[in-house]
Amino acid sequence: MNTNLSSSAPSQLETDCLVAVVLDRCEKDQSEKDKPAPSIECADSAVREAAREVISSGEVTGKTFETTLLHRPTGLQAKRLLLVGGGKAKNFSAAELRKLAGAAVRTLKGKNIRSFAFALPQNGVAAPDAVRAIIEGAFVGNFDPGYYKSDRNDKDKDQKIDAVTIVVPGDPKTLEGAMHAGRIVAESQNFARDLTNEPSNRMTPTIMAERAQKMASDVGLKCEVHGADKIRQLKMGAFWGVAQGSEEPPALIVLRYEPQGAAKNVHLGLVGKGVTFDTGGISIKPADGMEKMKYDMAGAATMIGVMRAIALLKPKVKVTAIICATENMPSGKAQKPGDVQIAMSGKSIEIINTDAEGRLILADGLCYARQLGCTHLVDAATLTGAVVVALGYVNTGIFASDDQMYDRFANANQQAGEKMWRLPLDDEYKETLKSNIADMVNAGSRYGGAIFAAMFLKEFAEDTPWIHLDIAGTAWMEENKPWIAKGPSGIALRSLVEFVKGWEQ
Ligand code: BES
Ligand code: MN
Ligand code: ZN
């Protein structure tokens, strides 16, 4: 998708469709009740005039995601005017704007429109933030997961937006940086969604490693890929315990970003769960819904995408990503309940349930990150069904061992407009890790399952400040939404990129 900035008056711009935001600046009526007062957020009076009639008809309320399309709007050079509702003016922020841009793209591409212009609303959101949000939302909205539909490349049917122009007040030059940054982040998010969307026969650990290597050479990152021999040589017994059951070789992928002038005392480590298919292993999952377990590598995809964005945005902070990629399969070689594995750190683990495999591979990933000298760790993983029970499909679960690090992350998360909710890591939960035969079990009671998994990981992050993101409920959109298609979401990428940038000296 081409991206442009224009300083033309919105009414004078020739485009297939001009998009304007409508907010509800609700007023009190005589009985002090809220009464909707839709307002077109555009300084150009000709645009407001073109929409006056449809607004006064009461058809447009400004409700979030309400869309109204006018043809040949009077007084405008645009062929169409699309009004997109953004909800109550007092609640409007860059996060809402991002979604509106996605909704505009999804509305227009469904009508075979290929290009449009978005009039920057001027109300509270600073212009650079608004430009970024619109670009990010537009790219996210343009992603279509129907990869293997045979008519996908049919020119008449491939519904995609080819170009977006943002109409800004003043000198567009001052906003080019924001547009560029938004584009890098959004394309990296779609890159992560692309990896996640592939089925497991087309996204094996080997293919994931090749994709990471290709990306690394495109953007100038160092990438190493290690196989089974190195995993065993590093004594990654927990990772290998999972990988040993599969015919597909595992991959340990290390991506390094080491800019000149970075602070010596900060080295961020990003660890991703890359289970390219999770059958559950010997503790096999039920058939119903098992096809979804192709997205059990979404955490890995997110971290690979974050590294892409970082390599292009170039913040001065050292970052290493460690991706543990494997299938989780039942076979004659698979680990079995009751088996004991010795993790890289030396701790022993009694395998109670082979379906609790994510925490095993991450245990060694976290330990390896510490060995490589990382001073702060973040992992992202589709780790537990229990986090979906706790938070549904709306919020990602965050766990943090260090309040200062959490504050930084929460700040970045706020900027990125992704919903996350902190869950506890009290010492009392540690009881449930106890094993009769080993240092710990890999699975315990059904209750507090997401917390148990996080407590397990904490044993391997040890005293290194660490954040764990359980994205099991948020990495895959269960339904189409106005701003994003059903399928992989690329969740956590934007927060992580913002978080990394926050450490820049
Ligand atoms: N990959 C799953 C978690 C998951 C569930 C991801 C739903 C996405 C959607 C994970 O490996 C798993 O199987 N977890 C088990 C752990 C249990 C056996 C302790 C779970 O949550 O049921
Ligand atoms: Mn599992
Ligand atoms: Zn899994």
**CA of 324, nearest ligand number:** 3
Q: Is 359 a catalytic residue?
A: yes
Q: What is d(CA 90, CA 162) in angstroms, rounded to the nearest whole number? A: 33
Task: Choose which residue among 324, 326, 355 to substitute to test ligand 1 binding: the one with the highest number of ligand atoms within 8 A of its C-beta.
Answer: 355
Angstrom distance (rounded) from CA 428 to CA 446: 16
Q: In angstroms, what is the span from residue 358 Cα to ligand 3's centroid? A: 5
Whether residue 214 contacts residue 225, with contact meaning beta carbons closer than 8 Å, is answered with no
Q: What is the pLDDT of residue 33?
A: 79
Residue 374, classed as helix, strand or coil, is coil
Residue in 25, 235, 256, 285 annotated catalytic: 285
Helix 298-313 to helix 493-501 angle, to the nearest 10 degrees?
40
The vertex-400 CA angle with 397 and 401, nearest 5°, equals 150
> For residue 431, what are its two tokens?
């009881």
Q: How far is the CA of 355 from the centre of ligand 3 (A)?
A: 7
Q: Is 80 a catalytic residue?
A: no
Q: What is the pLDDT of residue 11?
A: 98
Asked if residues 133 and 97 have their Cβ atoms less than 8 Å apart, the reply is: yes
Report domain extents, the chain.
Answer: 2-171, 195-502
Rounded distance between C-alpha atoms, residue 51 and residue 82, angstroms? 10
Atom number in ligand 1 closest to CA 453: 19
451 in helix, strand or coil?
Answer: helix
CA distances from 403 to 264, 379, 410, 467, 505 (A): 22, 16, 10, 10, 21
**Fold equal for 2-171 and 195-502:** no
Strands 466-470, 396-400: pairing kind: antiparallel
Nearest CA among 95, 101, 166, 176 for reference residue 139: 101
Site to probe by mutation for ligand 1, drawn from 383, 396, 478 as the one with most ligand atoms within 8 Å of Cβ, is 383
Instruction: Walk along the chain (505 residues) in steps of 10 and give the mean pLDDT of each run.
Output: 98 98 86 85 96 95 97 98 97 97 97 97 92 98 96 76 96 97 98 98 99 98 98 98 98 98 96 99 98 98 99 98 99 98 98 98 99 98 98 98 98 97 97 97 94 98 98 98 98 98 91
pLDDT for the residue numbered 31: 79
Catalytic residue among 99, 211, 359, 408: 359
Helices and strands in the chain, H and E counts: 14, 22
> Measured from the CA of 280, which atom of ligand 1 is nearest?
13
We find that the CATH architecture of domain 2-171 is: 3-Layer(aba) Sandwich (3.40)
**pTM of the prediction?**
0.97
> In angstroms, what is the span from residue 383 Cα to ligand 1's centroid?
6
- Kindly report the protein residue whose alpha carbon is nearest to atom 14 of ligand 1: 384
Q: Return residues with CB closer than 5 A to ligand 2 (ion).
A: 278, 355, 357
195-502: CATH, from 3.40.50.300, 3.40.50.261, 3.40.630.10, 3.40.50.2300:
3.40.630.10
Choosing from 292, 354, 357, 384 the residue with most ligand 1 atoms within 8 A of its CB, the one to mutate for a pocket test is: 384
Q: How many Cβ atoms sit within 10 Å of the Cβ of residue 347?
A: 18
Q: Which residues line ligand 1 (CB under 6 A)?
A: 278, 296, 353, 355-358, 382-386, 388, 443, 449, 472
Give CA–CA dist 144/150, Å, rounded. 14
